[in-house]
Structures are given as C-alpha cells and as structure tokens.
Copies of this chain bind each other. A is one copy, B any other.
Amino acid sequence: MTLPQTPDQHGKGEVELAVSLGPLRLRHPVINASGTFDLGEMEAHYERDFVADFPFSAYVPKTVTLEARAGNPPPRVSETACGMINAIGLANPGLQSFLNSLPALAKLREPVIVSVGGSQREDYVAVVEALEKTLDSATKGSVPQVAGYELNVSCPNVRTGCLAIGTDPAETAALVSAVRPLTARLLVVKLTPNVTDVVVVARAAVDAGADCLSLVNTFRALVVDSVTLKPFLGNRTGGLCGPAIKPIALRLVHDVAAALPVPVIGMGGITTGLDALEFIACGATAVAIGAANFAAVDAGERIVAELEAELRARCLPSVSAARGLALPGSARSARDA
C-alpha cells in the first residue's frame, strides 16, 4: 500500500472531483446509499445542519413504496464479521407521506434521486407518475431538485416483488419499459448481486431504457441466534453489506462497467477514499456510501476528502482519469500518471 512519499512531486494543483451521471453533473462522486442516511432524521438528531451542509453530491432517500410499510418484525439488524445484516423490509411511510415531505427538502442544494420500490410493476409506475405530477405542478423553490429515480429491484427483505424482479432479466426489462415513458429524468436501476450473471440483468435494464445502473444491493444472508440456534432476524434472512462484501461488489461493478456503456454507481463496503477509488478504477462513475454512515455521521465528507488525497498522491488530475483503470481494456496504470 506504500505510495512514493514525495510530497514535492504532487499535492500541487487542483484535483477535479466533479463527475457526470449522464446529464446529471455531480460536484464529486460520493452519494449516499438508499436506506442508510435519512436527512430529516439526521437534522433532527444531530447538531449539524445537514441540509445546508450536505456531505453527499446527491441525496437518495429511503426507498419509497406506494403504500406505507411497517416493515419486518424485529430484530432487524445484526453485526457480522466486517459486515452487517439487515432485514428492515422497506419500512417507509409511503408515497403520500414522501410527497408531503418534499417541501422540507426544498432548501437542499444537491439533487435528489428518488429510490422507488414495490411488489409489482404497477406500484413503481404509480409512484413515478405521482411524483412527476407533483413535481411538474410545484412552484419553483417549493420542492427539491429531483434529478432522477432509482428503481430498487433488489431488496432481499420483502416477500413479493423487488428481488423477484431484479433476478429476472425479462421482469426487469418490463419494469424499465413501463417506467421509461413516464419521465425524462435520469432512470437508474439498482441491481442485486444475488444472480448468476449480473450483466444479463444489467443489459436487460439498459436495453429497456435505463440511463444508469447502481450496484450492489445486499446479499441474501442469514444469522443464527447463538442462544436458540434459530434464525436471529425476525424475517429469518436478511441482506449482508459492509466491508465484508467489497471484493464481490468490486467484481460485479467491474463486470457491468466493462460490458455496458452507461454510467455505474458503485457501492458495497466503501468506508474510505481508497475504497471509493477502487470502485472508480473498476469503472464506477459515482459511488454510494451505505453502512459506513452508521459508523460515523461524517463518513461522507471524510471519504470525499480522502478520495481527493488518494488521487493527488497518485498524480491523477481528476476522478475521470482514474475511472476504469482496472477494466480489461485499460492499458494505463496509476503508476504512469
């Protein structure tokens, strides 16, 4: 891990952190992963003004479903070796409550990417339609800048839909085809790692009109209660995330970025700027921070600062210069920079 320590040779000049997710310009590549950073709650609990001083370059709220969902029975989370497992079950107050909360986000300077979930195609369609209608009719400044949607077809913790869609290329394509005509905004599809070949599903999504892919969602997993020897989580199984899964997530991002021409949002176990850089080297345009937000409320800005330092230490002038260095076609190496 030792880089040449010659501070005189680098450290000079600006490092360009801005990236483009299709038409969407982000001031840096680090966004939050859905379900792991609730802006309203962070504002309510912490002294810091997270709206005025938002650490991420885009805000992805918790997945919204048409109806309110109470979620799965507890326990819902547990720690594992270098990871954590959750079975929240898409607990959320539902579409109407989300629409009501939009004005509270109006002051946010960063774009919002709305994560949408559901048990069936029609649910996703209903949520996107309702949002489009609300946004179109809203007076300027009364709602945040909603830049796009992330279709969550990969939550392993709900019994119907979601993962059943995301593991099936045809279902995924049908969903994207249904949503695509409803909006001109950025359409992201969030992929599951629980498949034999992620590229098949990714390609189906892109062919059906997705602008961007995000991955990975969590890995279906199980924790045994050490006292009773029964499944520990109320939902029996849950989804594994955190540093434990990073090597698998990197491989999946690498495979998708190598195969498809759309921008990729990479995630899975990122806790440092170097982790973020690794995803970028594997072809990610942006990266998302999930479980690391639980370990530290300032994870976002720390990772951005570290990423900048890592680029600087390698004499890489921009995030783009690092992008894809680990992909099959790339002859370049960070050593040449």
A positions within 8 Å CB-CB of B: 1-3, 80-83, 85, 167, 194-196, 219-224, 226-231, 236-237, 240, 242-248, 250-251, 254, 269, 274, 277-278, 281-282, 314, 322, 325-326, 328, 330, 333-335
In angstroms, Cα B165 to Cα A196, docked, is 12
- How far, in whole Å, are A325 and B164 apart by their CA atoms in the complex? 27
Lowest 10 CB-CB distances: which A-B pairs, in order? A82-B82, A221-B247, A244-B244, A81-B243, A222-B251, A81-B82, A224-B278, A229-B281, A229-B334, A229-B325
- Distance in angstroms between the alpha carbons of A81 and B83 in the assembled complex: 9
- Count of identical protomers in the assembly: 2
Most buried by B among A222, A226, A281, A314: A222
A82 touches B244 (CB 8 A): yes
On whether A221 and B82 interact (CB within 8 A), knowing A1-B226, A3-B227, the answer reads no
A305 to chain B, nearest CB (A): 18
**A278, B229: Cβ atoms under 8 Å?**
yes
CA distance A229 to B274 in the complex (A): 10
A228:B196 contact, CB within 8 angstroms: no
Chain B residues lying within 8 Å of A333, measured Cβ to Cβ, are 228-230
Please, which residue of chain B has its CB at the minimum distance from the CB of A250? B222
A223 cross-chain contacts in B, Cβ below 8 A:
247, 250
Q: In angstroms, how far is the closest chain B Cβ from the Cβ of A29?
A: 15
10 contacts between A and B (CB under 8 A): A81-B243, A220-B248, A224-B277, A224-B278, A226-B278, A228-B333, A228-B335, A229-B277, A229-B314, A230-B334
